[in-house]
Amino acid sequence: MEKTKNKCRLLGMVKNRENGSKVRFGDLDTFLKIAPIVGLALLAYLQTLFPSKVEFDKVHDKLIQMDKKITEMTVLQKAITSNSGDINEIETRLRLIEVDIARHNAQTSKSPRNNKSPSGS
């Protein structure tokens, strides 16, 4: 008997819900008045998330300029690296020349000074 009462109660609830949930003309009219406003607000919000064509073109131009500058900096960095290597080589060669001059001076000071200078002194 309780099962029958529960079934009747459930059926009664379903019937009440069906009767209460019907879409009426007034509800549809209200929805149709509000829906375009909500749609326009949503579109306006979405447009604020993305840049306009002019802003996009500006950003695109800046990115191209930055790419050019990065390329120039890379080329300059390679040139600087090459020049640094050349300077290091010059310093090494200069040290070797100084060592050779020191050896030559040491050898000339050890040798007898029998040679007279061309000026006659």
> 0.85 cut: is pTM over it?
no
Residues 55-112 have pLDDT tens digits of 889 999 999 999 999 999 999 999 999 999 999 999 999 999 999 999 999 888 887 6
Q: What are the tokens at 115?
A: 């040679």
What is the SS3 assignment for 8? helix
Asked if residue 119 belongs to a domain, the reply is no
Residues 6+ apart with CB under 8 A from 51: 59
Asked whether residue 62 falls in the same domain as residue 26, the answer is no
Domain of residue 85, residue span: 51-110
Residues 46-56 have pLDDT tens digits of 888 888 889 88
Asked if residue 65 belongs to a domain, the reply is yes
CB 91 within 8 A of CB 83: no
- Whether residue 33 has pLDDT greater than 90: no
